[in-house]
Amino acid sequence: MAGIALGASWLAGCTSQTDLSAVAVEAAKPVQRYDITQALASNGKVVVAGTQSGAVLVSADQGRSWRREMLGGASLIGITHCPDGSFVAIDFYRRVWSADAAGAGWKSSPFDKPRIPLAISCDSKGRWWIAGTGATLAVSADAGATWTVTDLAEDAQLTGIQMVDETHGFATGEFGLVATTSDGGTTWSRGSKMPDEFYPYATLFTSPGEGWASGIAGQILHTADGGKTWNKQANTTRAALYRLFMHEGTPHGVGAGGVVARLEGDTWRSVPYPDAVPVFLGAAASLPEQHAIIAGGPGGLLRVIGTQADKASASAR
């Protein structure tokens, strides 16, 4: 009995002396190792990242440091900013989260359709656009108080929605679906489809005529006539690009295997960067003030990647 008591006393002593300071330090970090960044946006002053677990990460110094805020029961899959600098984010659980231009004061607005949202954008008038399953898109002109829904009457997912100016816009999705508007979104019409039932992971339009779509196995399509016809472009990275965005006047993309790609002429080429990690990059945003982009992925990955030096070497090719 004395031996058992002594052993219990020894165990209790060890337990009381366990140092949990390292655990506390790790838990206090704004970026956690379990974070999966699914969305990024910058308004030129503040960068906002959205994670699968509902954390919002905000940086006021171009990604050097971050502050963390949890949005209860959320999973953020897309973020953008509006002309006034404010941010809007799409929640997988049918809510739009909005914040001011400092990335603060987050509040949610529920909506009914689409049943599963997949993409969000904010147009030049500050209207919020959502696209998702059931070939359904919705727009709100009053910060989520009311919504106008358009059903394109197809059994397809819409993965992209973008208004390129006050009148012209594009919605793109599964089976090569392309819908356009030329009256500011009042009406939408289905046009010619992308070839081979192309599934666009991401689309980027820079004008009512020109746009790109990225898909499986690194495929990239280009249109110069507003989606009436599409042609393949070479992608030397061979990586699927999950996000397309403009950076310093040039289309860029991020995707599988840690790839950062840039359009050079009619070919997409890798943007080399030091200490690249071969994991998927699910989000990115342009930081033109420091000639860099910020990319995010799993494992708490938020990486600022300089692009100025490589751009100079590309022009010398």
Residue 14 falls inside a structural domain: no
Reported as a single tens digit per residue, the pLDDT across 260-274 is 999 999 999 999 999
Reported as a single tens digit per residue, the pLDDT across 111-158 is 999 999 999 999 999 999 999 999 999 999 999 999 999 999 999 999
The continuous run of DSSP H or E covering 246 comes out as: strand 241-247
DSSP 165: S
Reported as a single tens digit per residue, the pLDDT across 221-240 is 999 999 999 999 999 999 99
d(CA 216, CA 220): 9
Residue 235 falls inside a structural domain: yes
List the CATH number of the domain containing 57.
2.130.10.10
The continuous run of DSSP H or E covering 6 comes out as: helix 2-16
Residue 7 falls inside a structural domain: no
Supply the pTM of this predicted model. Answer: 0.89
Residue 1 has pLDDT above 80, yes or no: no
**How far from the centroid of its chain's Cα atoms is residue 294's Cα?**
11
Residue 213 falls inside a structural domain: yes
Residue 33 falls inside a structural domain: no
Reported as a single tens digit per residue, the pLDDT across 36-67 is 999 999 999 999 999 999 999 999 999 999 99
Mean pLDDT of the chain: 91
Residue 16 has pLDDT above 70, yes or no: no
**How far from the centroid of its chain's Cα atoms is residue 64's Cα?**
19
Residue 46 falls inside a structural domain: no
The residues with which 241 forms a beta bridge, in sequence order, are 255
d(CA 180, CA 203): 13
Residue 44 falls inside a structural domain: no
* Sheet strand arrangement including 177-181: 158-163, 169-173, 177-181, 189-190
**Total structural domains within the chain:** 1
Residue 257 near residue 217 (C-beta atoms within 8 A): no
- Residue 91 tokens read as 């929640």
d(CA 257, CA 278): 4
| 250: containing domain | 51-306
Residue 66 falls inside a structural domain: yes
The SS3 call for residue 108 is: strand
Share of the chain above pLDDT 90, in %: 86
d(CA 306, CA 290): 8
